[in-house]
Chains A and B, each alone.
Chain A
Amino acid sequence: MSELFDQFVVEAQELLETAGAALLALERDPADRASVDELFRAFHTLKGSSALFDMAPFTRLVHAGEDTLSLLRDGRRGMTPELADRLFRALDQCARWVAALEETGALPADAAAAETLVRGLSGGSADGDAAAGAGQPDGQSDAFPWVATLTGDERGAVGEGALTVIDYTPDPECFFTGDDPLALFRRVPDLRLMRIEPTEPLPPLAQMDPYRCILRFRALSGAGVEAVTPAFRSVPDQVRIGSVTLAPVVPSPVAAPPDSLAAAMLEEQARILDLPGGTAERQSRRAAVARTVTAILTALGRPAERAAVETACADGGTLRRFLADGPADKPTDAEPRPAAPAPSPAPRRALRVEPERMDALMALVGELSVMKGQLGPLVRRAGDGELARDMKAFSARLDSLVGDLRHAALRLRLLPLARVFDPLPRLVRDTARRLDKTVELVLEGAETEADKDILDVLGEPLLHLVRNALDHGIEAPERRTASGKPPGGTLRVRGFQDKGGVVVEVSDDGAGIDPAAMRRVAVAKGLLAPDAAAALGDDDAVRLVFAPGFSTAGSVSDLSGRGVGMDAVRAAVERAGGRVEIASTPGSGTRVRLALPLTLSITRVVVVEAAGSLYGIPVTLVGGVQRVPRADIHGVKRAESIVLRDRVVPLVRLRRLLGQPDDERVQGERQRAADCVVLAELSDGPVAVAVDDVGERADVVLRPMTGVLRGLRGYAGTAVLGDGRLILVLDLRELL
């Protein structure tokens, strides 16, 4: 059962996602047929699949949704924001239930709350009060699908004709209000059938709350609805009562005992023969009926000549007569018909891998890369004999294999940005609705792939940025109109690959950030001295939003306030080795750019040299590398700066940061006239880092500092280069 259950959980999650997207589309364009169909189908499939398990509240909720959507589909009900809210709430509830199912294997005990949702969906429909309460209209047998699943014995017991159906799922808390659900049925006249079933799998006795009702009752009565309803007067919200008409079971005189499935099937075949249709259509139906009848008779141990059956399949009457006077009651040992060979098992669409296993694989790949790196020096030590040549060739092949393996393992972990984009439409819709703003969300590059860990890092900051843009960025429609903009704002979220990393940009066409206001607030909050604030360039002033404890809005908003500011976004991104940039034009909008490495475990670094040792600087931080003539470096010895791309950038020397003596020796030998400078883009602003030399760019597996090294500040970890050399990867933010 558990495998099937797991499959349900996965399927339900997918369907709920599909439904959410379709609902958003539908709300934007109520005439969107495809989305109505999509939405309906999702609810419909959820209903069918959930009914396989004991989760009545779930099935009931999606059933109510399906009913509402079928009204919508038939144009008997229109889409309104309120209806969309209700459907969204239903989807949310389902998602919560599915999460609980995944976690605990059972629905949580909030079925009663869900009943409100069910009623919310049913109520307010075009045919209004009909669906609510106890008075179900007549002939609604499809509202009680279980009636069609009665066993032969049960069919025999309940009889035929018009019957009243009772579906009673007591409130789990009903014992506290003095209800005794079972006792109510004593007052039901002409009770013909009662099924008492648990609403959820019965827990072990020790975990059972004796005061929580977990049973539901399904019953059929021969009395009319009006005679049955009074028994349930006290619980109208927990019971559904309706009427169904059960067709008489036509007993077949031969071949099968009355009431059996076989008899019903044989009778159905006779009926099929009398169905209307074209000549070809009826011919093929006859062929299928003949084969079916032959099979049923064989199954019953009364095989008949196929030819004779085919003759009898001229019409319903002939078949009935044939079956009635059919072959005598002679038992035969009928060989079971061998089932058809299966061509192949159905293809599985996706493979789910436990994250721990992925991590273990990545760790092994990392180890292997390191081991491989150590092979290089060994090969060099082997000299250049024949053995050494073979080793070299072997080492080269191993190199490329390990590279491929690492690449393949990396790809396994890659997931599309869609995973973090998916919640956005809903977030934007709900937030905009709450703020009374009109916002169009444009998502681009959802197919861009990034490592699962990176996506995990990205998720929260992205939500925050989007909320922030809606809250503080995009103005209310009146204000937009007043400043000559279209009343609806546009929020663009764009993902793309960029130099070994993934970039996500959130841009809005809102009010933008006013640098002057930023300076004022920074001074008012005591973050900057007035003269320091005045000296800040506009870009740097805007960048103050990332400073801890800074909040731009005058009031703390319910949406993005709560003290969690842009500094949290920045911290999260930088922890993952990424960086945040912001650009804003007052009056026309703000763009925030999050740049993250492709993976957390494998980092692309620029290798630099200082005082004879190798260091790595994460590529995501590197804005450029260039030689700067000594003459262009300004300032006194301890506070140097250079002008790069028209910006004054402070210059730091890696040797000094690392506590090494200045590079006098090299200077003496080569009469160096220029410094090698790596431009590091930190969120506080760019910094030029002078190094002795700049080497290759390399993908490395970053290993955290361990042992005595752990206490060292300024290092993100160690890594081994492809040739086996060890480097220290710098954490420039900490170092500076």
Chain B
Amino acid sequence: MLVVDDAVTVRAFSRRVLEADGFVVDEAVNGIEGLERAMAAPPDLVIVDVNMRKMDGYTMLRVLRRDPSLRDVPAIMISTESKDSDREQALLAGANWYIVKPPRPEVLVEAARLLTGRPVDAEGAP
């Protein structure tokens, strides 16, 4: 899966949590790099931050949804905002789920498992 966030700490956190659960994690620092990475190797799930320089998360998701090979990739948008309007905007841009920063590790893992079709109650992948 692909984690797109311009905060290195948040990226590293997500990577650590998800890798500990057996996911293979790729990273990108902004929307443009995220799209490049996604096109190079379509991920099973993208986790996108909202506020990034160069290209923000909304734009990245909109572009992603227009790409024939990527338009059905499940997407989680992650943001420090918890207002309903922010959530709505994320869904409009093409997100399938919305998580407020900082994500709790167990929530992040559960969401990732669900969106990639991995049993939620099973132990981490081998």
Report A's interface with B, CB cutoff 8 A: 3-4, 7-8, 10-12, 41, 44-45, 47-49, 51-52, 141-142, 144-145, 147-149, 151, 247, 261-262, 265, 268-269, 271-272, 275-277, 280-281, 284-285, 287-292, 294-301, 334, 336-337, 339-346
Contact = CB atoms under 8 A, between A and B. Distances in A.
10 contacts: A41-B51, A52-B9, A145-B100, A147-B82, A277-B92, A288-B94, A295-B115, A295-B116, A337-B117, A339-B116
A334 B119 contact: yes
Question: Chain B interface secondary structure, helix, strand, loop or mixed?
Answer: loop
B118 A336 contact: yes
A327 B118 CA distance: 18
Given A149-B100, A149-B107, A292-B74, A49 B10 contact: yes
Given A262-B114, A280-B66, A51 B83 contact: no
Contacts, number: 178
B116 A346 contact: no
Contacts of B75: 288
A51 B101 contact: yes
Contacts of B104: 149, 151
Given A141-B82, A261-B107, A287 B72 contact: yes
A14 B92 CA distance: 33
- The 10 A-B residue pairs with the shortest CB-CB distance in the complex, in nearest-first order: A298-B117, A346-B27, A295-B117, A287-B72, A148-B82, A49-B9, A148-B100, A284-B71, A51-B102, A284-B65
Interface string B71-98: 1111100001111101000011010111
A7 B84 contact: no
A336 B9 contact: no
Contacts of A295: 74, 114-117
Interface of B: 1, 6-13, 16, 22-29, 37, 40-44, 49, 51, 53, 65-66, 71-75, 80-84, 86, 91-92, 94, 96-98, 100-104, 107, 110-111, 113-120, 122, 125
Nearest to A140: B83
B84 to A, nearest CB: 7
Contacts of A336: 117-119, 122, 125
Given A11-B8, A291-B74, A297-B117, 5 more contacts: A141-B82, A261-B111, A265-B111, A342-B24, A345-B27
Contacts of B101: 48, 51, 145
Contact of B8 (A7, A261, A271, A272): A7
B76 to A, nearest CB: 10
B61 to A, nearest CB: 9
Contacts of B117: 294-299, 334, 336-337
A49 B80 CA distance: 10
A413 to B, nearest CB: 25
Contacts of B103: 149
Contacts of B82: 141-142, 144-145, 147-148
B111 A299 contact: no
Nearest to B83: A142
Contact of A296 (B25, B65, B115): B115
Contact of B84 (A247, A265, A292, A341): A247
Contacts of A147: 82
Nearest to B104: A149
B114 A261 contact: yes
Nearest to A264: B97
Contact of B94 (A41, A265, A269, A285): A285
A284 B72 contact: yes
A669 B75 CA distance: 91
A339 B24 contact: yes
A3 B20 CA distance: 14
Nearest to A272: B91
Contacts of B8: 7, 10-11, 49
Contacts of A149: 100, 102-104, 107
- Identify which of A4, A41, A51, A288 gathers the most chain B CB atoms within 10 Å of its CB: A288
